[in-house]
Amino acid sequence: MPRRYDRDSAEFARVLAFSDGLFAIAMTLLIVSVTVPAISDHDSISEMADGLNDRLPDFTSFFISFAVIGRYWLAHHRFISLLRAIDQPLINLNLIYLAFIAFLPFPTALLGEYFENPLSIVIYAVSVGVVSGWEVVLFRRAYRDGLFAKPISPEVYRFGVTASLLPVLFFAISIPIAFVSTTVAAASWFLVIPAGVWIERRAPEGTQELLG
Amino acid sequence: MPRRYDRDSAEFARVLAFSDGLFAIAMTLLIVSVTVPAISDHDSISEMADGLNDRLPDFTSFFISFAVIGRYWLAHHRFISLLRAIDQPLINLNLIYLAFIAFLPFPTALLGEYFENPLSIVIYAVSVGVVSGWEVVLFRRAYRDGLFAKPISPEVYRFGVTASLLPVLFFAISIPIAFVSTTVAAASWFLVIPAGVWIERRAPEGTQELLG
Amino acid sequence: MPRRYDRDSAEFARVLAFSDGLFAIAMTLLIVSVTVPAISDHDSISEMADGLNDRLPDFTSFFISFAVIGRYWLAHHRFISLLRAIDQPLINLNLIYLAFIAFLPFPTALLGEYFENPLSIVIYAVSVGVVSGWEVVLFRRAYRDGLFAKPISPEVYRFGVTASLLPVLFFAISIPIAFVSTTVAAASWFLVIPAGVWIERRAPEGTQELLG
Amino acid sequence: MPRRYDRDSAEFARVLAFSDGLFAIAMTLLIVSVTVPAISDHDSISEMADGLNDRLPDFTSFFISFAVIGRYWLAHHRFISLLRAIDQPLINLNLIYLAFIAFLPFPTALLGEYFENPLSIVIYAVSVGVVSGWEVVLFRRAYRDGLFAKPISPEVYRFGVTASLLPVLFFAISIPIAFVSTTVAAASWFLVIPAGVWIERRAPEGTQELLG
C-alpha cells in the first residue's frame, strides 16, 4: 500500500503549495528577460516607439505563455478539486508533470520569435502535447488508486481519457502540417475548441456532476 | 451553475497561494537585473559613488514598482477578505488580472529610465489603468455571483464601482497631458488621493461596514 | 478601528504566505546570476580550477546573503508566532519591511565583490540597519494595537525595543570606522553577539515566557 | 526548552511554505538562463536545428537538476510527514539544508556543460553529498528532540541513519575515481540503487510502518 495523504493533511497542502509556486514562477519568468530598450535620445517618441516595436515578440510570448500555462493551472486546480486524497505515486507523477510545465516558457519564446520556422511549431506542439498527455497519466493514476471523492463509472472514466487525449491528437497532426505551412499548423490548434464542444455533447450521463 | 469553492476549501486557498506567489515574484523581479557596478580601482570611493549613481534609476524603479504592485496586493487582499466563496468565472478573471500584474515591472522600469519620454508615461498609465479597471471587473463578477460574505445593497455596489473607476479616469486624462509635459502628467496621478477622499465623503451609509 | 484578521483566518495566512514567498525568492536570487565558467579546454582541471576561483566572491555573496536574510526570516517567523491577530496597519508596515528584504541581495553582492571599498561597507550597514530598525517599528505597532497573544508589560516592551535597537547602533557606529578600515568596520558587526548576551542578562522577569 | 510548534499551527505551516517556495524556485531557475538561439535566416530548419543542438546541454542540465532537487523535495515531504511538531533547532537546521538545495543548480549546470572534467564530477559529488548528509542531521535532530509522531526504536533509528548515509558513501568514493574516468565515477552513483535495495532487505521489523 503506498503512503496516502488526506485532503486536510499538511502533506496534501504541500503538494498544492509546491505546484502553485512552480506554476507562478513559470508564468512570470518570461517577463524577466524583456529588457528596457536602449535609445540614444531619451525624449524621442519615434525612437522609443521603434524600441518598443522590437520588444513586441517578447510581449506576445509573455502573454501567450501566461495564457497557455494559466490554462494548465486551471485544469490542475480542477483535477485536484475532484480528489479526496493524494498518494505517493500521484505525487511522483505530479512532479514529472511540473517539470514539463517549467519547461514551457522556452518553446513559447521560440514560437514568439520564429513563428515562420517549422521547427518552432514542432517543438511547441511536442511540448504542449506532452503536458496534455501527462494530464491523462495523472487522471488514470487517480482513478486506479481510488483517489476521487465521488465514485467514477468506467464510462465516465473512458470519456474523461478520450476528451483529454483530443488536444494531444490535434498537436500531433499539426507536426507534419508545419513543414507545409506554419500558419495552417498553428491555426489547426484552434480546432481543439469546436472538437471539445462536439465531444462534450457525447458525454455519458452524470459526467457533469463528476468531472464538472 | 459554475463550480464554487467555499472559503475553507483547499481550492479557495490555492487561488490565494498562487496569486500571492505571483505577486511576490513580480515585486522582487526588478532587483534581479540590477548588477553590481564594474569599477577598475576596487578601493576607490569616487569610482564606486559614480557606479552606484548610474544604478539610481534601477533602485528608483525597484522601489516604485514594489510600492505600486504592493498597493495592488493590498487591494486584492482586502477584496478577497470580503468573499465567502470563489467560483470558476472569478478564478478565470483573477488569472487575467495576474497577467497584468506580472507585466507591471516592465512599464515601471521604462518610466524609471525614460521619465521625460511621453511614451513611457502613456504605457505606464495604460498598464496601471488596465489593472485598476480589471479590479472593477472582479468586483462586478463577485457581486453578480453573490460571493460577498455580507449582502451588498445596489447603492453600495454602485459606489464601489464608481470609486474604483476613479483612478482609471485620472490615468486616462494623463495620457494626452503627457505629450505636453511628462512632469504634469505624472503629477496629475497624485490627484487621485484628494479625489478619493472627496468621493469617500459621499459614500452611502453602511459602506464602511461592508467594504471597509 | 482598523480591519483586523485573526490568526486562523485566510487573510492572516495570506500575509505569511506572501512574506515567505518573497523571502524565498530574495534568498535564491543571487545564485541565478552565477554563470558557469567558460573554459577553452573542456578537460583541463587547472583551467576549471581558475574559472571556479573567479566565481568564489559570487559563492561567498550567495551564502552570506542566504545567512543574513535567513536570520531575518527566523526573526519574522518568531515575531509572528507571538501574535493572535494582524491588522491593516501592521500588514502595510510588513509590506515596507519586505521591500527592504527584497533589496538586500544588492548590498550583499556589493560587499562580496568590493569588500575593501568603504562605500560597500556603508551601503551594507545602512541596508541591514534599516531592516533591523524596521523590526522595531513592527514590534511597536503590534504592541500599540494589542496584537500580542499574551499581555506584555511596559518593562518587557521597553526591553524588547532596546534589544532590537542594539544591532542598529552597531551598524551606525561601523559607518565612520569604514573610512579608516573596512576590516575593522566589518569585524565590529560581530560585537553584536556578546552585546546581545550582555543585554539578555539584564532582561526583566518574564521576558523569556513572553518573547522567547 | 526550545520553542516548539505543533503540526496544526501557522508556524509549522510557514516552515513548509517557505521550504516549498525555495524548492520550486531552485527547480525552475535553470530554465531562465536558456536563451532562444539567434539565427540569421528565420525560416531555416537546419540553422534552427543547429541552434537547438547547441542548447542541448542546457536542456539536459535543467531536467537533471529538476530530477535531483525533485528527489530531495520528495524526501523532505516524506520526512516532514513523520513529524508531529517542529522546534526551533530543527527550523534552523532546515534553513541550512535549504541553502544547500538553493546552491544545487550551479554544480548541475557545471556537470551538464563539462561532463568530461574531473572537477565538475568532484564539485557535483560534494554538493549532493552534503545535501544527503544534512538529511541525516535533520533526522537525528528530530529523533533527539522527540518530534516523530510515532515512537521510533533505537534499532529503527540506527537503520534510518545508516540507510541515509549510504548515498554519501557512494558520492565520496566517486571523487578519487573521477580523476581516472569521469564516466566510471558518474556510473558509480547509480550503484546507490541496488545498494539501497540490499540494505532495505536488512531493515529491522517495524521500519516499514514507521519510516515508510
CB-based burial, D1-34: b 16+ in 10 Å, e otherwise = eeebbebeebbbbbbbbbbbbbbbbbbbbbbbbb
Q: For position C69, what pLDDT does the model report?
A: 93
Comparing CB atoms, the residue among C17, C33, C114 nearest residue B42 is C114
- The average pLDDT across C44-57 equals 92
Strand stretches in chain D, DSSP E? 4-6, 85-87
* Distance from C-alpha of C136 to C-alpha of C144, rounded to nearest angstrom: 12
Of B29-38, B91-100, B179-188, the range with the lowest mean pLDDT is B29-38
Residues of D in contact with A91 (CB under 8 A): 74, 77
CB atoms within 10 A of CB D51: 18
- Label residue C61 by pLDDT band (50, 70, 90): confident
Residue B84 touches chain C, beta carbons under 8 Å: no
Express each pLDDT in D151-176 by its tens digit: 888 999 999 899 889 989 999 999 99
Task: Report which of A35, A51, A84 is spatially closest to residue A210, judged by C-alpha positions.
Answer: A84
Asked if the Cβ–Cβ distance from C20 to D25 is below 8 Å, we say no
| Predicted pLDDT at D205 | 79
Nearest to D124 by CA among D89, D80, D175, D164: D175
Interface chains of chain B (3 or more CB pairs under 8 Å): A, C
Whether the pLDDT of residue C65 is over 90: the answer is no
B70 in contact with chain C, both atoms CB, cutoff 8 A: yes
**Across the interface, do A80 and B10 touch by the CB < 8 Å criterion?**
yes
Residue with C-alpha cell 508531529? D84
> Is a pLDDT exceeding 90 seen at residue C151?
no
pLDDT at D212: 62
Residues of D in contact with A181 (CB under 8 A): none
Decide if D5 contacts C81 (C-beta within 8 A): yes
At residue D192, does pLDDT exceed 70? yes
Q: How far apart are CA B99 and CA C120, in angstroms?
A: 37
Question: Which of C7, C49, C66 is opposite residue D102, by nearest beta carbon?
Answer: C66
Say what the pTM is: 0.93
> Which of helix, strand or coil describes residue A87?
strand
CA–CA separation, D44 vs D39, rounded Å? 8
**CA of A20 to nearest chain B CA: how many angstroms apart?**
5
Q: Which residues 160-179 on chain C approach chain B with CB closer than 8 angstroms?
A: none
Task: Please tell me which of A9-18, B195-204, C23-32 the model is most confident about, judged by mean pLDDT.
Answer: A9-18
Q: Which of C91, C99, C117 sits opposite B45 (nearest CB)?
A: C117
- Per residue in A53-111, pLDDT (tens digit) is 998 888 888 898 899 899 999 999 999 999 999 999 999 999 999 999 999 989 988 98
pLDDT at position A22: 96
Summarize the confidence of residues B163-170 as an average pLDDT. Answer: 90
CB-CB under 8 Å, B74 with C102: no
The confidence score (pLDDT) of residue C203 equals 86
Q: How far apart are CA A61 and CA B67, in angstroms?
A: 27
**C67 to chain B nearest CA, in Å?**
19
pLDDT above 90: percentage of residues in chain C = 64
Q: How confident is the model over B178-200, as a mean pLDDT?
A: 90
**Pairwise CA distance, residues D48 & D39, whole Å:** 7
| Interchain pair D116, C42: CB under 8 A | yes
State which amino acid sits at residue D162.
T
The alpha-carbon gap from B105 to the nearest alpha carbon of chain A, in Å, equals 8
Average pLDDT (C80-91) is: 96
Mean pLDDT of D75-87: 95
Q: CA geometry: angle at B86 spanning B27 and B11, to 5°?
A: 75
Cell of D139: 533526522
The answer for residues whose C-beta is within 8 angstroms of residue A43's C-beta and 6 or more apart is B116, B117
Distance from CA of A44 to the nearest CA of B (A): 7
User: Which pLDDT tens digit goes with each residue over D7-41?
Assistant: 999 999 999 999 999 999 999 887 877 888 999 99
Within B33-117, where are the H helices?
45-81, 88-103, 105-113
- Residue D84: the pLDDT is 96
Calculate the CA A122 to chain-centre distance: 16
Only one residue has cell 468565472, namely B89
Average pLDDT, chain A: 91
Given A11, A26, A95, which is nearest D81 (Cβ)?
A: A11
Whether B212 shows a pLDDT value over 70: the answer reads no
For residue A212, pLDDT over 70 is answered with: no
Q: Which three cell numbers stand for residue D187?
A: 556510473
CA distances from B124 to A44, B45, B108, B111, B134 (A): 17, 36, 7, 7, 15
State yes or no: pLDDT of B210 exceeds 80.
Answer: no
Say whether B106 and A80 touch across the interface (CB within 8 A): no
- C53 at the D interface (CB within 8 A)? no
Interface-testing mutation among B3, B11, B18, with chain A (most A C-beta atoms within 10 A): B18
* Residue the block writes with cell 562580496: C112
pLDDT, one tens digit per residue, over D118-153 is 999 999 999 999 999 999 999 999 999 999 999 888
Cβ pair B103:A32 closer than 8 A: no
Best to test chain B binding among C9, C87, C119, C127 (most B CBs inside 10 Å) = C119
Is residue B85 less than 8 Å (CB to CB) from chain C?
Answer: no
Q: Which among D7, D45, D62 has the least Cβ separation from residue A117?
A: D45
Interface contact D44-A117, CB threshold 8 A: yes
At a CB cut-off of 8 Å and minimum separation 6, what does A144 contact?
none
The percentage of chain C sitting over the pLDDT mark of 70, rounded to a whole number, equals 99
Quick one: cell of A85? 486524497
Distance from CA of B110 to the nearest CA of A (A): 6
**Residue range D201-212: mean pLDDT, rounded:** 77
Query: Which residues of chain C make contact with D16, given a CB cutoff of 8 A?
Result: none
Whether C114 and chain B come into contact, CB under 8 Å, resolves to: yes
Report the pLDDT value the prediction gives residue A204, as an integer from 0 to 100. 86
Q: What is the pLDDT of residues A108-164, one digit of tens each?
A: 889 888 989 999 999 999 999 999 999 999 999 999 999 999 988 899 999 989 988
CA angle (C65, C52, A103) in 5-degree steps: 70
Residue contact C70–D14, C-beta within 8 A = no
Give the burial string for D145-169 (b: 16+ CB within 10 Å, else e): bebbeeebeeebbebbeebbebbbe
- DSSP conformation class of C8: T
Q: Using the predicted structure, report yes or no on whether residue C212 has a pLDDT greater than 70.
A: no
> pLDDT tens-digit profile of D56-67?
888 888 898 899
Residues of C whose CB is below 8 A from D92: 74
Task: Give the residue carrying C-alpha cell 499548423.
Answer: A185
Using CA atoms, how far apart are residues A138 and A147, in angstroms rounded to an integer?
11
DSSP, res B11: H
Nearest one of D24, D81, D135 to A13, comparing CA atoms:
D81
Cell digits for C16?
A: 505569511
A201 — pLDDT class (breaks 50, 70, 90): confident
Q: Do A116 and D66 touch (CB under 8 A)?
A: no
Strands (E), chain B: 4-6, 85-87
The whole-angstrom separation of Cα C180 and Cα C187 is: 13
Model pLDDT, residue A83: 96
Answer whether residue A210 shows pLDDT above 80: no
